[in-house]
Structure 1
Amino acid sequence: MICQSLFYNHLSLGPTSRYHLIAGAASAGWGQVEIHVPEGRGDNAAISAVAATKNVGGKSKPEEVITFPMDDHLANMRRHRSVPAGGLKGIKIDTQGHEFYVIKGLNHTLAAAQQLVVFAENAVELTEAAGVKPSEVYSYMRGHGFRGYCEVDIEVSERDGKEVITASGTEETGNDIECKDIIWVKV
């Protein structure tokens, strides 16, 4: 997470926190990328200046950051026992149109998960500006066994001593999903 030009390197927010701040940008692979940070709004950084300022206005300034696949970061968290007992239950992705690159960096996690919820921004114009067709994202997630929803009720309960995710809602099955955020569920 980038916050007013301060970078935090996997700094736990407390002994029982399930949230972590990370130095860098999740992507499909290791490297470096120039991001654009809106003045006074480090929480809305994006790969392009247009995407960075689309929702907040103003000007942005470029900064170089390291990119990494989330699978690598999660593997490191597992080695240090930083993943919550019972495993990962949810991931939130809001990268101003670059969600597919983050998702591709989660390939192993998505394939191995028996149950997982992924909340992702679904801004078609920003996704296309990032060089990705939204249908590619939908196909990729469905190929990993996820179902997409615009509205869904998610419940986590305990069954036979294990946490179980259940989802109820109307699945979006086409390639023209018209909701701002999409919830991908694998149960």
Structure 2
Amino acid sequence: MPVDLCTNVAKDSDLSPMGIYRLLPQTNCKICGETSCMSFAFKLLKKEITLDKCTPLYEEEDYEEDRRALEEMLRPLMEAEMTETGLVIHEDLCFGCGNCVVACPVNVAEDPKGCAIGNGPTSDKVILKVENGKVKAANVESCRRFGEHRILCNACITPCPAKAIEFPGG
């Protein structure tokens, strides 16, 4: 399952702040401690809060169907481990083509004799590599999305034909 910043989250097109928000009560009651339901949706996606903090979902019958839909949508995310970069790898979609491995600028810089020329990694400093037919991640502290001076790099997402890599909420 998860390795460092990899997660095995089931792909769901509504797994976004807006997709979550649509199923929340949208009353901005602040019972959860957040200023708005949209803020709560973002925190859910980042795993900074749990669904049960929205007590109206559990106490009011009108929200039962939405609560169940949210629980189903969020289950894989809540079971997964997420790190500072927020990278999610959908192992069920990944078929191990390696496009992300050779597209990652950090991989290219750290592995001039492997990833930089379109081959598999020859360095243990790479972030992404294919193992057993699935992409895996390591060395997350080297990712451009990590740390105080992070940038919103999407180099690993763009070349993925299976849409198996994403950064939800960012």
More helix by share: 2
Higher RCO (C-alpha 8 Å, min separation 6): 2
TM-score bracket for this pair, using the shorter chain length = under 0.3
TM-score (norm 2): 0.22
- The structure that has the greater radius of gyration is 2
TM-score (norm 1): 0.20
